[in-house]
Structure 1
Amino acid sequence: MNKYSLIIAMSFLYPMTSLAECNPIATLCKNTTLGLLNQVEMVNSGDESSHLLLNGKEIYKAKTSYMVVSNDEGIFKNKKYLITKATISYVSEDPCFPEKPASRCGINMVLDLTSGKPVISNAFFSENGESQITWVSWGKANSIIVIDDELRFKYANGHVERITKDKNSSTGSDGGK
């Protein structure tokens, strides 16, 4: 084989080998400091749940059509961006409030990869339905997360807690599960 044939063959093979790590049924494929993060949506999972996989191993599953991994923070290593922290958001197929069985809400969590293993925080959400994350300030000791109804949450050491009081209540429940 001459060198031109080899170059042409490699140009076709390189994209296939570089994408070989991504799950073929995954809708999300992101590089992290701990490996490859894939999402398998409910339509492809066969079990009425969506799944997050890290290096092919399940790290989280939820009864939802799909999950969104966003608001990520990361580092650059060898000219490649690697996620260290991110938020996970989805609309739950299960009711969030026992007193309102037909209601659904937007569930949010933090995915933290800084400790050398994947840590997924407790769920947090608004009592007002399907709120979305509007702002995140990632910090080393703790992080602040704001959702669109102006509720603020603090993430530290694998746990999220609400730091603003509920406008409808003087007690200010923590709003999470």
Structure 2
Amino acid sequence: MPAIVNRIFARWVEETEGYLASWERLQRAGYGSEAGGVKRILDEIVPFRLRRATGLSLTNRDVSPENLIVCEAGVRLIDPVPIVYDGLAFAGDVLNNFNTLFPSFHRSPRYERHRFDRYRPLLCSFADGFLEGYAQGDPEMLYALRVEQFLMLLDLTCHHIGLLEHDMTEEAVLRYGDKTAMEERIPTYIAGMEQFRLL
């Protein structure tokens, strides 16, 4: 196995096992009672993710609507710095971004001018079409994508909690909004995880 593949696989295992620590972070932050279902889902999906083979892809990282270009040939994505990682992980990120992140970031300076909260149904339709096109009716692929979407939502929630534990940098405020905006999002994210359906 080439060295880069070994490094990526080691990172994959470490990242996957780290999701259990994310549950502990929710508990320490006082959200344990609201997020009981999160632990049950993690107990199911962490072993699944460790068993599934990673498929390395050259992947775009910034899939925000402002980086989409619609032209005669279809939709194109601009990303000057793609990376190599698991394609399903980034597909789950796309699903989380369009279903959750963009509609909830209307109070962050980077996204407020777009008012994505007003276009939630359109963004969710984009995500639904993306999911349908990616899975192509394969229930195993659908499950794997939903696992990754759930983990991205968990990451987003824990990242918010982590940012609230420190002074906000100017860059963080531009991306995420102020602490009040972030505090208001966390219960919504936790409710989303509690109501999450893997299939």
TM-score, structure 2 normalization: 0.24
Instruction: Identify the structure with the greater strand proportion.
Output: 1
Q: Which has the higher contact order (CA 8 A, sep 6+)?
A: 2
Decide which structure has the larger Cα Rg and report it.
1
TM-score, structure 1 normalization: 0.26
